[in-house]
């Protein structure tokens, strides 16, 4: 006897897991996400501070501070600290961005207390040995040279230099320039650490199959970290965009067989009055997948590229809308013309079918995107660095499900007005005449 197939209904609305939260006496906020079956703890610590607070002659000092936090403490040399981390199965890394310091720790759950105490020592008792600082300075200088030789990275360096006002910190690399990095020494890092790293205002996220005594474990380890008196600062100033940003800059790479295209405009942050919900959907529809508008033409129809991607990149205040990818050098000018036409043409609106596709991708894939302790911790840390909680994520998904074609179109038009900052990394001799003929603003050439 054949049984009838059960009816398949629409999935129920999904909400981001709720954490157990508390605040230590030091002012450190703790968010605990219990994820059964995930026996590697994902720990994230965020300490907000504005990158513009770096001394101008020492830009890059924040990044070097992050890289040298685990290079020795009052109790352990650099080698001893490396051995302790290895023996406990702890992976620790730290980095800085425009909003502050982010530390990632992954460790087997039975060693969580050990890892948190090692993290406390790195935060509270770092010694920044001069020899290790020198090694990291040299490594950063080598990275800068490598960035200049990689088309995608070179394009992004030129973008921020072009789209932001030259006086604004956002116009310069977050990791510093060769001139400023070369000036950083152990004393400069120690001074920056003492001024900016403190528990009050920072957030610790712990995700995984958590022990029942997590509160006491955290209090007995990171509870001993306070840092300098006062509360950590946050970025409250919007970046200043350059008055002449609507132009084309060619970064000359003679003989290059590919051209890197980068097209950008100022974008919103998560607090935009228009609401952030539309922008993840717009990213997907315009250039977020092989089926998006950009690749449907430039990859599938024309065969100019292996893939070009678009996305809205929020900062704590303000942001960017960026489209980037590489094409064959011989089709760089027509590819850019088509790309700009697609981006401008999206102002005409989005269909009901497109809207349904974009909404389904963002809203219905959320349970899978946030299925692991690692992904949960990353999202919670991202929200904390932005001064938000994961309630924002849940509310966002609800707003995404309610989006209409008109709402998407209005949100896109709020950002896109046809004024683009364009960077092309390629052979200038073969590009400049064609790019000038596009009539998309002044065309200038810089050396790679």
Q: How confident is the model at residue 98 (pLDDT cuts 50, 70, 90)?
A: very high
> Worst-scoring range by mean pLDDT, 8-22, 140-154, 234-248, 352-366?
8-22
Structure tokens at 274: 């228009």
336 in Cβ contact with 438 (< 8 Å): yes
Beta-bridged to residue 250, according to DSSP, are: 424, 445
215 shares its domain with 289 = no
Look up residue 447 and give its two tokens: 């050396």
- The closest of 78, 70, 80 to 120, measured between CA atoms, is 70
Domain count for the chain: 2
Regarding whether 55 and 190 lie in a shared domain, the answer is yes
Q: Rounded mean pLDDT of 202-207? A: 98
pLDDT, position 3:
83
In a domain, 191, yes or no: yes
pLDDT reported for residue 229: 84
**How does residue 2 score in pLDDT terms, banded at 50, 70 and 90?**
confident
Mean pLDDT in residue range 266-274:
95
| Residue 115, token pair as written in the block | 């890892």
What's the CA gap between 378 and 166, in Å, rounded?
32
Does residue 183 lie in a domain region? yes
Q: Same structural domain for residues 161 and 262?
A: no
Contact 287, 294 (CB under 8 A): yes
In this prediction, residue 8 carries a pLDDT of 81
Residues 260 and 121 in one domain: no
> What average pLDDT does the structure give for the chain?
96
Of 192, 224, 256, the position where a domain reaches its end is: 224
Same domain, 181 and 281: no
* Whether residues 336 and 212 fall in one domain: no
Q: Could you tell me if 212 and 253 lie in one domain?
A: no
Structural domain including 300 reads 248-447
Which of 224, 239, 266 is the last residue before a domain boundary? 224
Tell me the CATH number at 34.
3.30.830.10
Q: Is residue 268 part of a domain?
A: yes
Picking from 115-119, 271-275, 321-325, which range would have the lowest pLDDT averaged per residue? Answer: 271-275
In a domain, 433, yes or no: yes
Greatest alpha-carbon span in the chain: 81
Q: Are residues 278 and 183 in the same domain?
A: no
Q: Are 112 and 97 a contacting pair, CB within 8 Å? A: no
C-alpha 119/C-alpha 70 separation (Å) is 8
The mean per-residue pLDDT over the stretch 379-401 comes to 97
Clarify whether residues 25 and 148 are in a common domain: yes
pLDDT at 159: 98
pTM beyond 0.75: the answer is yes
pLDDT digits (tens, 9 = 90+) for 34-84: 999 999 999 999 999 999 999 999 999 999 999 999 999 999 999 999 999
Q: State the pLDDT at residue 318.
A: 95
Q: Is residue 151 part of a domain?
A: yes
Residue 2 domain flag: no
- On the question of pLDDT at 10 being above 80, the answer is no
Are 72 and 219 part of one and the same domain? yes
Q: Which of the four pLDDT bands, split at 50, 70 and 90, describes residue 168?
A: very high
The reply to whether 294 falls in a domain is yes
Per DSSP, the three-state class of 35 is: coil
pLDDT of residue 300: 95
Cα–Cα dist 428/179, whole Å = 27
Residue 12: pLDDT band (50, 70, 90) is confident
Measured CA distances, 42 to 295, 385, 407 (Å):
35, 17, 37
- Is the pLDDT score of 111 beyond 90? yes
Helix (H, G, I), strand (E, B) or coil at 56: helix
| Pair 260, 219 in one domain | no
Of 262, 243, 240, 241, nearest to 251 by C-alpha is 262
Residues 260, 196, single domain; the answer is no
Q: Please write the tens of the pLDDT for every residue from 285-299.
A: 999 988 899 999 999
Give domain status of residue 233, yes or no.
Answer: no
């Amino acid at each position: 006897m054949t049984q009838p197939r059960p009816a398949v209904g629409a999935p129920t609305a999904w909400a981001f897991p709720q954490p157990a939260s508390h605040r230590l006496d030091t002012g450190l906020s703790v968010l605990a996400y219990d994820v059964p079956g995930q026996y590697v703890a994902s720990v994230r610590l965020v300490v907000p501070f504005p990158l513009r607070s770096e001394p101008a002659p020492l830009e890059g000092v924040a990044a070097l501070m992050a890289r040298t936090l685990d290079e020795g403490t009052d109790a352990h040399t650099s080698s001893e600290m490396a051995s302790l981390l290895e023996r406990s199965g702890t992976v620790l890394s730290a980095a800085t961005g425009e909003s502050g310091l982010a530390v990632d720790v992954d460790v087997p759950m039975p060693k969580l207390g050990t890892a948190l105490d090692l993290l406390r020592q790195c935060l509270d008792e770092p010694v920044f040995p001069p020899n290790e600082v020198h090694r990291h300075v040299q490594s950063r200088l080598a990275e800068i040279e490598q960035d200049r030789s990689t088309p995608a990275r070179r394009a992004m360096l030129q973008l921020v230099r072009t789209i932001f006002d030259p006086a604004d910190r956002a116009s310069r690399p977050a990791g510093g320039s060769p001139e400023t990095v070369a000036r950083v020494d152990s004393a400069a890092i120690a001074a920056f650490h003492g001024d900016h790293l403190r528990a009050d205002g920072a957030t610790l996220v712990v995700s995984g199959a958590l022990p029942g005594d997590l509160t006491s474990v955290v209090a007995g380890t990171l509870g001993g970290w306070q840092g300098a008196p006062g509360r950590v600062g946050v970025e409250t100033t919007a970046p200043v965009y350059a008055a002449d940003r609507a132009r084309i800059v060619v970064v000359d790479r003679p003989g290059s067989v590919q051209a890197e295209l980068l097209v950008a405009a100022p974008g919103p942050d998560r607090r935009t009055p228009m609401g952030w919900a539309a922008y993840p959907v717009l990213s997907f529809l315009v250039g977020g997948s092989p089926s998006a508008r950009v690749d449907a033409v430039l990859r599938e129809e024309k065969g100019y590229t292996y893939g070009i991607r678009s996305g809205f990149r929020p900062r704590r205040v303000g942001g960017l809308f960026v489209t980037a990818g590489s094409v064959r050098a011989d089709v760089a000018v027509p590819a850019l013309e088509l790309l700009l036409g697609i981006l401008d043409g999206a102002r005409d609106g989005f269909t009901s079918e497109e809207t349904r596709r974009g909404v389904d991708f963002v809203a219905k894939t959320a349970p899978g995107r946030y299925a692991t302790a690692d992904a949960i911790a990353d999202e919670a840390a991202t929200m904390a660095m932005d001064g938000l909680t994961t309630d924002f994520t849940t509310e966002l998904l609800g707003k995404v499900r309610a989006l209409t074609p008109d709402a998407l179109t209005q949100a896109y038009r709020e950002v896109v007005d046809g004024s683009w900052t364009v960077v092309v990394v390629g052979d200038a001799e073969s590009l400049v005449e064609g790019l000038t003929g596009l009539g998309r603003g002044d065309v200038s050439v810089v050396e790679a």
